[in-house]
Every structure is written in C-alpha cells, then in structure tokens.
Amino acid sequence: MNLFDARVEALTVSTVNLSTQLTKQDLTKVIADAVRLYGGVRGCAAEMAQRYGDNDMATTARRVTQCRVIIAAAFTRPTARTS
C-alpha cells in the first residue's frame, strides 16, 4: 500500500465531516488520529472493511472517492508550468 492509499483509508474511517473545509494541517491531524485509534494503517484498512463491507457499494465508493479528492488536493504538489 502506498502513502496516498493509506491516507485515503485513514480519512475514510475517520469521523470528520467531509463537507467541512479542511486545511492540510487539519487533514494531517485527522489522519494521524485515525491511524493511532485503529492501531496503524492495517487497522484502518480492517476498520474500513468492517464498517463498509455490508453497506451499499455506491455509498462506500462515494465516500472513498470524496476522500481521494480531498487527499489529492491537499497533499499533491502543484506542477510547474512550462510555456
């Protein structure tokens, strides 16, 4: 698992409201708290499977997609423009 996917899983199982405007620092804290709460990245993955395993696939996919977009926006460095 790469760092991006680990962040997505941790954010997915966090209790944060995804409609809240989060800074990079907020996300870092939320992710760290989730990793600590569930005993590491594998614990987050296990919690995600347990929590969303029986849920409607569309709901689960929507939550994961929201988390992927939030993480990508906050942690991806902007690329330099070349003209």
Which amino acid makes up residue 68? R
Q: How far apart are the first and last CA of the chain?
A: 35
Mean pLDDT of 16-45: 90
Q: What domain range includes position 16?
A: 3-75
Which tokens go with 75? 């942690």
Considering the domain boundaries, does residue 42 fall inside one?
yes
Structure confidence by residue, pLDDT tens digits, 34-74: 999 999 999 998 998 888 776 667 777 878 888 888 888 88
Q: Return d(Cα 61, Cα 67) in angstroms, integer.
A: 10
**Could you give the percent of the chain with pLDDT greater than 90?**
20
Considering the domain boundaries, does residue 82 fall inside one?
no
Q: Output the pLDDT for position 43.
A: 95
Considering the domain boundaries, does residue 80 fall inside one?
no
Number of domains in the chain: 1
Question: pTM for this one?
Answer: 0.76
Asked if 7 contacts 75 with a C-beta cutoff of 8 angstroms, the reply is yes
Asked if 13 contacts 48 with a C-beta cutoff of 8 angstroms, the reply is yes
